Amino acid sequence: MASMDFYQALGVNRKATPSEIKKAYKRLARKCHPDLHPGDRAAEEQFKRITEAYEVLSDADKRRRYDQTGSASRQPGPPPPGAEGFEGGFPPGFGFDAGGFGRGFADIFEEIFNPTGAQAPRGPTPGEDRVYPFRIGFFDALRGVSTTLELERETACPNCGGAGSIRSSRARVCPECGGTGKIQRQGGRVRFTSDCRHCGGKGRLAEEPCRRCGATGKIFQKEKLQIKIPAGVDTGSRVRLAGKGGAGTLGGPPGDLYVQIQVEGHPFFSRTGDQILCTIPISFSEAALGARVEVPTLDGPSAIRIPPGTQSGQKIRLRGKGAPSLKGEGRGDQIVEVKVVTPEVRDERARALLRELGGVEGADLRGHLKAYS
């Protein structure tokens, strides 16, 4: 083992940074940890090699001595606590306390055994943000509205202050570790020991579960919230109510509540951003000769000029007649699209007039169209 190249064992070069060394060790440890490969002697031996390499290269002093002399030891001595028999391989039932190798090993092994990263909270934790969908009318969105929301929301339990437990007159044995203060995980030939997170390694708890909230630290209660929706909101807009989201734990602050707006449609108007869109019909004669017609707007009827020769689909802009801007930049425009309605021929007189008009036009509207080159 003395002739082993520690850098080669971890697959890094000699100029590798501490973070690169740790990353390489974590990657290899996930592949060959004996707990994940019970009974696999090759994986066990590889894990032994990379752990020895990481134990040296993760320590600045040991790494410097190794780079200078090829050895990390000042002088022969006993192995570190919990690592007895390490050089000779893993005997049956071998175990160690991660603390004997420092917090670096404890954190890495915790990630291997607990890949989801789930941990008991160690201190105050902020509550989660919540989203509440809310429908409003088309004109309410344009003009703004104040309303009241009545909902059931999560709050910190007043009995335990969100901790989920209350002080007890007598300490009790920790149910997680059975009073030992240690948690053991075993797989294959390796046993991993770490401090119990539930009691902090003390083995006893001076608290008891809160009965009012069922030890969750949270309760649900109905609440009425006043909300002011500003003019100009659209579907997808959010209004934030600070501190009205999910309850925090262990005294952490609550999250925020986001009221997500959904605007109802309108039979005549539609909307794109700050622009209001609509379509109006005009007659054949109005399109050809021009006219002044009334158009509904958000502020009431407004007269617009139809230029002579207007084509179906042509758009006319009414400046400042659109939706209010949420940025406070005034109002957008209203875009009016005209649709020329072809007249119905109801009698011979109308037919004769249209034939006469066709003779006056005389132009070949399709003469420039070709289906071949």
In tens digits, the chain (373 residues) has pLDDT values of: 446 789 999 999 999 999 999 989 988 888 887 767 777 888 888 888 898 889 889 988 889 888 888 776 555 444 444 333 344 444 444 444 444 444 455 556 555 555 544 444 456 788 899 999 999 999 999 999 999 999 998 888 888 878 777 877 777 788 888 888 888 765 445 566 777 877 777 777 767 788 888 888 888 989 999 999 999 999 999 999 999 998 887 778 899 999 999 999 999 999 999 999 999 999 988 999 999 999 999 999 999 999 999 999 999 999 999 999 988 889 999 999 999 998 888 888 888 887 887 776 656 666 677 666 5
Torsion of CA 154, 159, 165, 170, to 10 degrees: -170
Q: What is the spatial distance between Cα 109 and Cα 35, in angstroms, rounded to a whole number?
A: 11
Return the closest-CA partner of residue 21 out of 69, 62, 71.
62
Structure tokens that stand for 141 in this block: 């969105």
Instruction: Quote the pLDDT of residue 363.
Output: 63
Q: What is the spatial distance between Cα 343 and Cα 318, in angstroms, rounded to a whole number?
A: 28
By the 8 A CB rule, do 260 and 313 touch?
no
Return the closest-CA partner of residue 53 out of 111, 96, 109, 3.
3
Backbone angles phi, psi at 118, to 5 degrees: -70, 130
Helix ranges (DSSP H) in the chain: 6-10, 18-32, 41-57, 60-69, 103-113, 138-143, 284-289, 348-361
Q: Is the dihedral of CA 203, 209, 214, 217 positive or negative?
A: negative
Structure tokens that stand for 175 in this block: 């149910």
pTM, 2 dp: 0.56
